[in-house]
Homo-oligomer: A and B are copies of this chain.
Amino acid sequence: MAQPIMLPRNETGIETVTGILKQRFGDRVQTGASVREQHGHTTTWIDNQSPDAVVFPESTDEVAEIVRICAEYKVPVIPFGTGTSLEGHVNAPAGGISVDLMRMNRILAVHAEDLDCVVQPGVTREDLNTHLRDQGLFFPIDPGANASLGGMAATRASGTNAVRYGTMKDNILGLEVVMADGQVIRTAQRARKTSAGYDLTRLMIGAEGTLGIITEITLRLQGIPEAISSARCSFPSVDAACQAVIATIQFGIPMARIELLDEMSVKAANDYSGLELPETPLLLLEFHGSENGVVEQADSFGEIAADFGGTGFAATTTTEERNKLWKARHDMYWASLQLRPGASGISTDVCVPISRLAECVTAAQDKARELGLIAPIVGHVGDGNFHSLPLIDMSDADEVARAGEFVGWLNDLAISMEGTCTGEHGIGQGKKPYLEQELGAATRYMAAIKAALDPDNIMNPGKILPG
């Protein structure tokens, strides 16, 4: 296990605050070991660093009250949603109070005419889409996990259909945020665009709770397309698949999803999901549009794919076949784990300009082999973003070290290709060493903003920035 840095603990403050919170919130403050551990980081190889207490607020006012109490005694505050983040975002390296926002799970308003809605941070994306379905609307961002919308905002999540609909930064109109001093602010009005002052909305999106706690989110919605069709196509090489993607995007086909599975991932999907696909690189695609439009899009893609050696192209508009394909894609994490039962999967992501994607993916495959690692790859290739999942025996220190070497090497490579060390997982604790390497002096100004908005460093300390 990777041991994240511990930070100095304010023992007296933590004890005092825990006492005050217990008095104020009663049973809604919990200090049992298992609850605390569940609210530390549990989903990857980063060691768990549990908070000292977990509090379950039910309103913005309560969140503000908690933050004010913590601010008075300079005690860390760590916002928590579904705990599905991957880079140690919810760990408590200096201890402190985990603020579990999952009881704030109301959909406050749906404005169908405006194609927006207002939700509390504990609403999950699946809950929201279930609620919206009858109105012919949906919220497009899909990071795989049924994450909370507050967590998705805080980590600037994206996923399979960002190629068409963008990331969280593109789909939020405004936020309500509790700042480090307990003040509640709104970052923007509900208009679809604004040029009124600094873009605090985008500053808070992806700040991973280090600048404030998001307590309300105004989301852009989309109309459910008249027609949806899916397709798959096998390619002789990763390079051929990527070239087909580049041509598709240049041609202006408005792809809703375009996902790459490498050879090893296809094998995993075949075994786990009972598919019978050729075990060569595969693209999974989705088209949104009118009835005629999706047929036209699929036909155009099919022609492009053929130019790059694509075979077995098959499009479908039946919901059943479509769901089967995408369920297989969404199950890739579990499918991949079955390639090596008992191993732990270390999910890492990078994102590069799409012209460099084939080279980056192929190099990652070669490097993993060289290091003796099993590391299947899946990618949101329309964005140049991909995930590698080294499957590691955590009891083998040498193998763990080789996995660490692989992740570091991959980050270096992506950065050298004008890419980023993280396309959608965030910095958290795991990618902190790479942020300055990637952005240099810019990180100094990030630190200046952090110091200005949270002078006592109580908001999710030890994440993103040094210290």
User: CB-defined interface of A279-294 with B at 8 Å, one 1/0 digit per residue?
Assistant: 0000000000110110
Q: Is the CB of B199 within 8 A of A438?
A: no
Inter-chain CA distance A199–B425, complex, in Å, is 15
A33 to chain B, nearest CB (A): 31
Q: Which residues of B contact A246 (CB under 8 A)?
A: 113
Contact size class for A? Answer: 35 or more
Complex interface: stretch among A182-190, A334-342, A397-405: A182-190
Inter-chain CA distance A420–B186, complex, in Å, is 13
Q: Which residues of B contact A464 (CB under 8 A)?
A: 197-198
A110 to chain B, nearest CB (A): 12
A229 contacts the other chain (CB 8 A): no
Known contacts: A184-B441, A203-B203, A442-B185. The answer to whether A427 contacts B351 by CB under 8 A is: no
Inter-chain CA distance A205–B427, complex, in Å, is 23
User: CB-defined interface of A299-326 with B at 8 Å, one 1/0 digit per residue?
Assistant: 0100000000000000000000000000
A155 contacts the other chain (CB 8 A): yes
Q: Is the CB of A189 within 8 A of B451?
A: no
Q: Which residues of B contact A84 (CB under 8 A)?
A: none
A280 to chain B, nearest CB (A): 23
- Chain B residue nearest to A252 (CB atoms) is B223
Inter-chain CA distance A302–B426, complex, in Å, is 45
Q: Is the CB of B113 within 8 A of A250?
A: yes
- Chain B residue nearest to A135 (CB atoms) is B250
Known contacts: A296-B293, A351-B192, A420-B191. The answer to whether A200 contacts B445 by CB under 8 A is: yes
Q: Is the CB of B184 within 8 A of A426?
A: no
Inter-chain CA distance A424–B193, complex, in Å, is 8
Q: Is the CB of B296 within 8 A of A422?
A: no
- Chain B residue nearest to A200 (CB atoms) is B442
A271 contacts the other chain (CB 8 A): no
Q: Which residues of B contact A198 (CB under 8 A)?
A: 203, 206-207, 211, 446, 449-450, 464
Q: Is the CB of A191 within 8 A of B113?
A: no
Q: Which residues of B contact A384 (CB under 8 A)?
A: 114, 191-192
Q: Is the CB of B192 within 8 A of A353?
A: yes
Inter-chain CA distance A115–B384, complex, in Å, is 12
Interface residues of A in 368-396 (CB under 8 A from B): 383-385
A63 contacts the other chain (CB 8 A): no
Inter-chain CA distance A179–B455, complex, in Å, is 21
A116 contacts the other chain (CB 8 A): yes
Known contacts: A250-B115, A355-B113. The answer to whether A446 contacts B193 by CB under 8 A is: no
A421 contacts the other chain (CB 8 A): yes
Q: Is the CB of B158 within 8 A of A222?
A: no
Q: Which residues of B contact A354 (CB under 8 A)?
A: 113-114, 192
Q: Is the CB of B194 within 8 A of A422?
A: yes
Complex interface: stretch among A5-13, A98-106, A161-169, A258-266: A161-169
Q: Which residues of B contact A249 (CB under 8 A)?
A: 115, 223
- Chain B residue nearest to A242 (CB atoms) is B113
A23 contacts the other chain (CB 8 A): no
- Chain B residue nearest to A180 (CB atoms) is B445
Q: Which residues of B contact A206 (CB under 8 A)?
A: 195, 197-199
List the 6 closest A-B pairs by CB distance, nearest first. Answer: A202-B202, A452-B452, A113-B355, A190-B418, A191-B351, A185-B442
- With contacts A193-B424, A448-B453, A451-B452 known, what are 17 further pairs, Cβ within 8 A? A113-B250, A155-B195, A157-B195, A183-B444, A185-B439, A185-B442, A185-B445, A188-B420, A188-B439, A195-B425, A197-B439, A199-B203, A203-B449, A223-B251, A223-B252, A226-B252, A449-B453
Listed A/B pairs (5) with beta-carbon separation below 8 Å = A192-B384, A193-B383, A198-B446, A198-B449, A199-B199
